[in-house]
Amino acid sequence: MHHAVDGDRRDLRLSRPQSVPEVLVAGPHPLAMRVRPTPEQHRVVRSEVGHDHTVAVVRAIGRMRQDLSGPLSLSDLATTGSFSPYHFHRIFRSITATTPARFLAALRMAQARRLLLHTDLSVATIGNRVGYTSSGTFGTQFNRLVGTSPRRFRALALRLTDRPIRELPVTGRGASPPAWLLSVELRRSHDRADPPDGCGASLGPTVQLRGPTDPGEYEVRLVLVNPAATAAEAFVDHLPGSFLTGTARLRVDIRGRLLGQSDLYLRPSQPTDLPLLAATPLSWICDVATGRRDPTSHRRPGRAAPGGQRAATVHLPLGVPA
């Protein structure tokens, strides 16, 4: 149905946003963030710890990708930059916002998702291929990071249409040809490998995030999927050119006011980015393609927000990337 795991990949060329849109995180006192293309001088991976350290981390991540089933130790990874394990651990976390072990676990889950979609291998075999000798441990870790079981993810992924985003059937209020698919994650933890506290998707300007928005510090991760790409190419295969991404920090105070930075920069994915793992956008796009969901909202028609949860709303004018 979809292209092979290691087969030829389509050439998806991303255009940079030409205008300056706004992301509106709504609440009693909304916070507006302008979405901008990342300036050219910052389009490569940069960090306060220096270029040499960044190169070492990128090399370590490359080594992880080459041997997802092997037992890689911190000492093994530290040799990519001739650092002590302790020093390398600190460098890695400063650049990726997570630890080497958790980054490796995320890469393993990303590969497992691809194998579930593109092969007929059993769940146990796939778990073994990505470094888990116990299918129970693999299933538990997969469910924690992806938000569903391996079997349910396979059933969901096989429902994905081969149509690019721009060809999805859009009906309902304000119907218009799809622009860029918008996906948003809201995460309270400072460790980006943790599952998001809220997640949503939309082909329209508003995303309802499923999850609580209690007072505290949050990171918003925004993903804009290329209209020429399919959902599988962006969210499962992570095909280069299939999406732009960016993050911003915000704070919800005890009065529900949203405070944070005013600019959210978008850029192509980088080697130090954690893979997209949450199943929510895939579930959403399947429901849109089959007419089970309003394409301008995260929720299904007629469904209220979960009891006891305050919904966060993210607004983005469409038609932004040229």
- Please check whether residue 32 is in contact with residue 38, taking contact to mean a CB–CB distance below 8 angstroms: no
What is the predicted pLDDT for the residue at 232?
Answer: 93
Q: Provide the pLDDT for residue 167.
A: 82
Q: What is the per-residue DSSP string for 262-299?
A: SEEEEEE--TTSPPP--SHHHHHHHHHHTTSS-TT-SS
What is the predicted pLDDT for the residue at 13? Answer: 54
Contact 91, 118 (CB under 8 A): no
Task: Give residue 125's pLDDT.
Answer: 97
Q: Are 111 and 128 in contact (CB under 8 A)?
A: no
Cβ neighbours, 10 Å, residue 281: 24
Give the integer Cα–Cα distance in Å for 191 and 217: 12
Map tokens 């998702």 to a residue: 113
- Separation between Cα atoms, residue 91 and residue 227, nearest integer Å: 36
What per-residue confidence (pLDDT) applies to 287? 81
Closest Cα partner for 247 from 26, 103, 33, 92?
33
pLDDT tens, residue order, the chain (322 aa): 444 555 455 655 554 444 434 444 444 444 445 556 555 444 444 444 457 888 999 999 999 999 999 888 999 899 887 889 999 999 999 999 999 999 999 999 999 999 999 999 999 999 999 999 999 999 999 999 999 999 999 999 998 878 888 887 655 445 455 566 778 888 887 888 998 888 878 776 566 665 556 788 888 888 888 888 999 999 999 998 898 888 888 777 777 666 766 567 788 889 999 999 999 889 888 887 766 655 554 444 333 334 444 445 554 443 333 3
Quick one: pLDDT at residue 211?
53
- Only one residue has tokens 């037992």, namely 71
Given a contact cutoff of 8 angstroms between Cβ atoms, the answer to whether 166 and 227 are in contact is: yes
Q: Which of 11, 96, 14, 8 is nearest to 322 (CA)?
A: 14
**Residue 51's pLDDT is what?**
74
Instruction: Categorise residue 238: left if φ over 0, alpha if ψ from -120 to 50, beta otherwise.
Output: left
| pLDDT at residue 96, rounded to an integer | 94
Counting Cβ atoms within 10 Å, is residue 288 exposed (0-12), middle (13-18) or buried (19+)?
A: buried
Q: What is the reported pLDDT for 70?
A: 86
